[in-house]
Amino acid sequence: MNILFFLHAFEFIMIINLLFIITAIYVERKNTVEISTWILIFTFLPILGFILYLFFGRSMRFGKQKVFKGKKEIDEKYSEFLFEQKYLLQNNKVIFRDANNANYYDIMEMHINASKSILTQDNDITIFTNGKDKYESLIKDIEEATESINILYFIIKNDNIGKRIVGLLTKKAKEGLDVRIIYDHFGSFLTPFSMYEDLIKAGGIVNRFFPLKLGTYLRANFRNHRKIVVIDGKIGYLGGMNIGDEYMDLGEKKTHWRDTHLRITGSAVQVLQVKFINDWYYCSNEKNINEEKMRKKLFPKIEQSGEIAVQIVSSGPDANGEQIKRGIIKMINCAKESVFIQTPYFIPDQSFLEALQIASMSGKDVRVMIPGIPDKKMVYRVTFSYIQALMDYGIKVYLYPGFLHSKMVVIDGQVSTIGTTNMDIRSFRLDFEVNAFIYDRKFSSKCADIFKIDMNKSKLVTMEWYKSRSTWIKFQEGFFRLFGALM
C-alpha cells in the first residue's frame, strides 16, 4: 500500500513538473537559461519548486489597459519631439553643445528608438558618494519646495532619517503642497504603514507598488527598485540610495556603506517626472485628476541650468527588452580605452559577460569593483563564481573595503551611467529600474576619478588568492549559481 502511494505521488509530481516546464517554454516564453534553471529546481526540489515558481517564476501580466490609459496623455506630450530628435540623429543634424558627444550619437539613437528617451542638453548634475551629503541636499530641497514633491523608493525605513523625511513631507502637505509617495511593498515590507498616517491626514497620498496581500503574493518576483524624487518639476534625484540610516553608516549594520546618487536640474528632470507619473498611474487610486492642472504643476517651464547631455532610461518586466542592459552593453562596445564598473551584485547573463570579455580582448582596460563585505551571502557566492570568467580574460576585479552599493559604469572618462540598476539578471530583466546616461567629459572624468579613489582603497583580486578558496566555498558558489537568475 505504501509503495503504491509513493508511486502515485511520484507520478503526480512528474506530471506537475512537466506541466510547469511546458508553461515555462510555451506560455511564459522564457529564455534557455531560465528554463534550464527551473528544470533543475523542479528536479531537485519537486514540491518546493512548485511554490517557488508561483512566486518567482511567472512572467509579468501587467494591467496594461490601466497603465496605458494614464500613459497616453504623457506620451503624446513628447512624441513630436521624439520624432524630431530621431530624424535629426539619423541625418547627423543634431547640434551638440559638446562636439565630442557626436562620437556617441548611436547610443543616443538606440535609447530614443528603444526607450523613447529624449536627449536633453541643458542639465547640471551634482554627484553624491555618501548618504549624509545626499540627505542634507534632499532635505534642503524639500524644505524649499513650493508646488509638488513626488517620491518613489524601493525601501523607506522606519528609522531616524525615514521619520525625519516623512515628518518634513507631512509639514509640506499641511502647507498645501501636492505630496505623493510610492514605495515598493516587498522592499519596505518591514516598514509599518502607520508611519504615513499623519502625512495622509495632512493631504499627502501614499501608494504601495504591488501591495503584498492575499491574491497578490505571486507578484513578489517583480519589484520596483527605482529611487526617484522630483521636486516642483525642476529638481530630480536618482541613484543607489534608498531612505535609511544605513546609507549614512548609522544603521544596525556596522559595515561601511559606499553608494552613489545624483541631483539633476534641467530638462532631464521632466523625463524623470514622466517615469514617476507612469508608475503613479499604475498604482494610484486618485479619481478625477485635473490633467491641465497636473501638467502645469508637474511640468513647469524649465530654465537652462547647465550644459550636460542626459538621457533618462527605464526598464522593467512590462517593457519590450532590457533597455538599460542594452545601453550599458552599447557603452562597453563603444569604449576605446577603458571600462570601469561598480556594482554590489555581479550576476551577468552571457551577452553582458561576453561584452566585457570582448572589450578586454580588444585591448581595453576593463575593471570591475564589487563589495569586499557582502550584505547577502548567497548572492555574494554567486558573484564570486563569475570572477574567474573575468580574470581569465585580463579583467581586473577589486574588492571594496565595505559594502559597495554604487551602480556606476564609465567608459573612457567620456560617457557614464548611474542609477538603480545592478549588474545582474534580476535588475536587467525582473525589476523596474531607472538610470541616467550622461554624455559629458568633465562629469564622466569625475566619475572615473571617483572610481580610481575607491580602487586605491580596494584589494585587487589575484588568481593565487582566488584559487585558495576552500572546497566548501567553491561548492556553495557552484550550487547557488544554479539559482542566479532568481536572485
pLDDT digits (tens, 9 = 90+) for 357-392: 999 999 999 999 999 999 888 899 999 999 999 999
Higher pLDDT, 414 or 44: 414
Return d(Cα 281, Cα 67) in angstroms, integer.
6
Looking at 184, 232, 431, 454, which residue is catalytic?
A: 232
Nearest to 437 by CA among 347, 305, 331: 331
Q: How many CB atoms lie within 10 A of CB 175?
A: 12
Q: Mean of the pLDDT values across residues 239-250? A: 92
- Round the average pLDDT of the chain to a whole number and report it: 84
Q: How many CB atoms lie within 10 A of CB 486?
A: 19
Please determine whether the domains at 64-312 and 323-486 fall in the same fold group of CATH: yes
Decide: 224 and 152 in contact? Cβ < 8 Å. yes
Decide: 121 and 105 in contact? Cβ < 8 Å. no
Beta bridge partners of 231: 149, 235
DSSP states along 424-471 = EHIIIIISBEEEEEEE-HHHHHHHHHHHHHHHHHSEEPPHHHHHTS-H
| Top CATH class, 64-312 | alpha beta
Q: Mean of the pLDDT values across residues 52-60? A: 58
Hey, which of 30-44, 139-153, 290-304, 310-324 has the most confident mean pLDDT? 139-153
Pairing state of beta strands 346-347 and 408-411?
A: unpaired
Return d(Cα 481, Cα 353) in angstroms, integer.
15
Looking at 30, 157, 364, 407, which residue is catalytic?
A: 407
115 grid coordinates: 526607450
Chain centroid to CA 219: 18
Nearest to 169 by CA among 138, 126, 125: 138
Hey, which of 37-51, 389-403, 469-483 has the most confident mean pLDDT? 389-403
Q: What are the boundaries of each domain within the chain?
A: 2-56, 64-312, 323-486
Active site residue 227: yes
Over residues 177-206, the pLDDT tens digits come to 999 999 999 899 899 999 999 999 999 999
Beta bridge partners of 433: 315
Active site residue 225: yes
**Angle formed at CA 465 by CA 459 and CA 466, multiple of 5 degrees:** 95
Residue with cell 516642483: 232
Q: Does residue 55 have a pLDDT over 50? A: yes
Return d(Cα 172, Cα 160) in angstroms, integer.
19
Residue type, 341: I
Q: Does residue 80 have a pLDDT over 90? A: no
Looking at 141, 245, 279, 412, which residue is catalytic?
A: 412
Looking at 227, 261, 275, 330, which residue is catalytic?
A: 227
Q: What is the model's pLDDT at position 480?
A: 81
Query: 3-state DSSP call for residue 346?
Result: strand
- Measured CA to CA in angstroms, residue 186 lies from 176, 308, 378, 380, 467 at distances of 30, 35, 19, 21, 37
Looking at 30, 111, 405, 424, which residue is catalytic?
A: 405
Query: 3-state DSSP call for residue 83?
Result: helix
Query: 3-state DSSP call for residue 71?
Result: helix
Q: What is the model's pLDDT at position 388?
A: 95
Decide: 236 and 263 in contact? Cβ < 8 Å. yes
Give the CATH number of domain 323-486: 3.30.870.10
14-25 exposure pattern, b = at least 16 Cβ within 10 A, e = fewer: eeebeebbebbe
Decide: 37 and 56 in contact? Cβ < 8 Å. no
Compute the residue count for the chain: 487
Over residues 419-451, the pLDDT tens digits come to 999 999 989 988 999 999 999 999 999 999 999
Active site residue 405: yes
Query: 3-state DSSP call for residue 411?
Result: strand
Residue 301 confidence class, pLDDT cut points 50, 70, 90: confident
Please tell me the number of Cα atoms within 13 Å of 418 on its side-chain side.
30
**What are the strands, taking DSSP E only, across 195-260?**
205-209, 228-231, 235-239, 257-258
Q: What's 25's DSSP letter?
A: I
The set of residues, in sequence order, having a beta carbon less than 8 Å from that of 32 and lying 6+ positions away, is none
Decide: 394 and 423 in contact? Cβ < 8 Å. no
Chain centroid to CA 30: 21
Active site residue 407: yes
Q: What is the model's pLDDT at position 320?
A: 75
Return d(Cα 227, Cα 261) in angstroms, integer.
9
The set of residues, in sequence order, having a beta carbon less than 8 Å from that of 141 and lying 6+ positions away, is 231, 235, 263
Looking at 111, 157, 172, 225, which residue is catalytic?
A: 225
Nearest to 485 by CA among 109, 64, 30: 30
Return d(Cα 179, Cα 208) in angstroms, integer.
15
Return d(Cα 325, Cα 335) in angstroms, integer.
16
